[in-house]
Structure 1
């Protein structure tokens, strides 16, 4: 059988990894010699590098993941083809003609909008665009965020929100040791931001970030946490029946709120105030307020909320009270959203996912999905790994149970290649990606950092001779 995976991010690679664990003779239902190549469709492992930065903005945190994906790409039963846009360069029906099974693992490339007045003012950015800017995603290099204000406000209590806060407040000597782009580093060197608020609609028991990311933020040199002890009143008893991760996370927030850091003592003694960050709860954005000249954001009006229900199902209900928070930089980190890929693929526009059952696309035998486009943009990388393994297992069960018809021969990439050639599309291989990777590492070594990311796609293609 021949299997195609659309997407070169974690969901795509984990799906391929699980399929490749099964010996080829098992996959071929006793017909030795057939092999199931996995062919990705997004350029140069870029989604893997970018997504790794989302789950932990220091490069080392995603290195083990990237090494695992590299091993998968080097498998003799796996082939990688990048620089191809599925839905434009080749359609999903055309892929289904070439393969016995197709898995869609293309992630969530859009962001949820606030839907409030003022969200299009200068100084208001989506988290996706901002993270893409400092991580070297080519499409976001023209962002040029205005960092001339002292106070930034991030809407959202997830890991991405914490990552952004850490980037905004990190000492330059720390950032220089990472693979952040030179242009972003230069902009951050001139940044006047010294205070970051992370604001959420619900309470401490509903935050979406995880303890690892929170601890890294708490331990950030030169930045003190400002948490109001009143926000945590009564939570020690309320969290007793919570899951262990939720309990540990809440206990860390309570401990941080009650502590009086050395930095605060120094500030009280007259020393220069350090940078600071804090969490604000039960506030829902109503309007981004414009400056007097209307040229940029100057603040945000928030509706105060109360919670109905408990745990993850608690809902934020406006109380009728409002408050205004002053800030010159607003970053919306309220979630990502998948987009439809091809008219031939069912898509739930309301939920932003492909309708499926354990990864099997509803009503389309032989078509599968994994990752965020399957379940929605939630969880950390281990969540995506388990989700992708679940989809791969569904595919394997269908192969071994005879649900997937593998009797007709499929040409695989030979057919796709002819289609791409007829449309003037020239794919890149994994060895091409490794040339780009080597060039980035070499440039980084010369600058004393892990790598210097190449942000111009045309330059990438020149490096590999395209």
Structure 2
């Protein structure tokens, strides 16, 4: 029997656990360790609350979690309750599946003003993550700027633009549902340094903006390249650009709608200004050089806004004793291998790229490598019993998957009408819901 610890219970963590089961043919015991008392990571706290069909992938992870050779160990923080070095002593292999939960810094003057938030914080706020439940973003303003040209920027803009009725069926948490229902935001500006052909927005997410009840997406036709140039794009991007062209041609369709979502291409944020809080963001017009890089032109414009959400990427937090690449914001690794017995998967391995499904082949590749590295034979490591003894000696109150199911049932029981659940937003409430 071999023993493996997986740190992180999001998609990368559970795909790795699933892969390890197959690679070892049942001769493995896997502990999936998470800082929070609740599993699923990005599925619970990152995927937009109105995208329940995407969140449904958790059912696959649930099947893995309920098998005898996989155990969820929640409410255990690596670095606080147990170190990576201690886990390497207890397990034959340790996989870091910690994701990339930290916002990359915006790095322009004024980015520290109140009213500037990162997308991890803002998304965590409306998804009920305990770290961000008290964020209280300024929504009593008319203008909001969303920096970025990816799907996260679209999620943020869409959530800001929706009416309360449009959240029926979602699991947006009560504090965000109420605050957004009372929001004064009317103009949402999506800022991108480059043009329509360089976006990282998928057709489905872009298309949703065209069906909002009280908001109209707007694109300046002058920002669009010649239509004939679209033929050279890959099919998905071509569909996305087709949505932008539709938005550019639908100026009259927004009559009667109170909100506007303005796509501002070739607009590079250079400063955020205001007296004690955000009042405006300054952007510099850019052009594309031959390598399709954004080149500043010196022409600037101020956009009035009281909220800035930066959606420019994420980084993996360092862990003491684990080699880290500061430039790329992830662990240093070679094809998922960090060092003797230590591996990484998902965003912790390759940075915040790809979709949820991208983590599956990633996890399988690393699992096969671990199986090859360990070979056959018995372990000799203490594994699960050793971890339990260590955590008990330190007074750590672990949460099992059965405990999580009690929390899950309590969340479903307190849901408002039309919602699948009302998440607990504090660890203390989660632990209390687990009961004795």
Structure 2 residue aligned with 1:455 = 425
Question: Aligned residue for 2:325?
Answer: 348
Residue aligning to 1:281: 265
2:336 to 343, 359, 369: 359
CA distance, structure 2, for counterparts of residue 413 and residue 124 of structure 1: 43
**In structure 1, what is the equivalent of residue 38 of structure 2?**
45
Q: Distance in 2 between matches of 1:53 and 1:241?
A: 36
TM-score (norm 2): 0.94
Aligned-residue CA RMSD in angstroms?
Answer: 1.9
Q: Contact conserved, 1:240 with 1:247, CA < 8 A, in 2? A: yes
CA contact (8 A) 1:105 1:373 kept: yes
Secondary structure, in 3 states, of the residue corresponding to 1:36?
A: strand
Give, in angstroms, the shift of residue 392 of structure 1: 2.4
1:28 is aligned to none
**Alpha-carbon separation, structure 2, partners of 1:2 and 1:352:** 29
5+ long unaligned stretches in structure 1 = 26-33
From 134, 148, 153, the equivalent of 1:161 is 153
What does 1:400-419 align with in structure 2 at a 5 Å threshold? 402=375, 408-419=379-390
Which of 236, 241, 251 aligns to 2:242? It is 251
2:345 matched residue in structure 1: 370
CA deviations 1:325-359 (Å, max 9, x no partner) are 1112111111111111122x111112111122221
Distance 1:200 1:145 in 2: 22
> Is 1:52–1:62's contact at 8 Å kept on the other side of the alignment?
no
- Structure 1 contact 166–217 (Cα < 8 Å) conserved: yes
* Distance 1:390-1:217 versus aligned 2 partners, 3 A rule: farther
User: Across the two proteins, how many residue pairs are aligned to each other?
Assistant: 435
Taking the aligned partners of 1:278 and 1:165, their CA distance within structure 2 comes to 10
For the residues of structure 2 that align with 1:126 and 1:247, how far apart are their CA atoms? 29
Q: 1:57–1:163: 8 Å Cα contact kept in structure 2?
A: no
Instruction: Call closer, same or farther: CA 1:73–1:283 in 2, change over 3 Å.
Output: same
SS at structure 1 position matched to 2:9? coil
Aligned equivalent of 1:30: none
Shift in Å at residue 380 of structure 1?
A: 1.9
- Say if 1:302 and 1:322, in contact at 8 Å, map to a contact too: yes
1:322 aligns with 2:279: no
Is the contact made by 2:31 and 2:384 (CA closer than 8 Å) also made in structure 1? no
Gaps of 5+ in 2: none
1:218 Cα offset (Å):
2.1
Once residues 189 and 100 of structure 1 are traced to their aligned partners in structure 2, the CA distance between those partners, rounded to angstroms, is 51
2:283 corresponding residue in structure 1: 302
**1:115 maps to 2:104:** no
Give the TM-score normalised by the residue count of structure 1. Answer: 0.88
Match of 2:411 in 1: 440
1:389 pairs with 354, 358, 364, which one?
364
Q: Aligned residue for 2:317?
A: 339
1:37 Cα deviation from its structure 2 partner = 2.3
- Whether the 8 Å contact between 1:24 and 1:36 is mirrored in structure 2 is no
Local SS of the residue matching 1:178 = coil
Q: Does 1:230 align with 2:222?
A: yes
**Residues 190-241 of structure 1: CA distance to partner in whole angstroms, max 9, x if unpaired?**
111112110011111111221111111222222111011111132x333323
Distance of aligned partners of 1:60 and 1:461 in 2 relative to their CA distance in 1, 3 Å threshold: same
- Please give the per-residue CA displacement for 1:124-164, whole angstroms capped at 9, x wherever unaligned: 11111111111101111211111111111101111111111
Superposed CA offset, 1:278-298 (max 9, x none): 2111111111110xxx13211
Provide the C-alpha distance between the structure 1 equivalents of 2:35 and 2:62, rounded to a whole number of angstroms. 15
> Aligned equivalents of 1:210 and 1:308: distance in 2?
24
Q: What is the distance in 1 between the residues matched to 2:38 and 2:60?
A: 12
1:75 corresponds to which of 43, 67, 73: 67
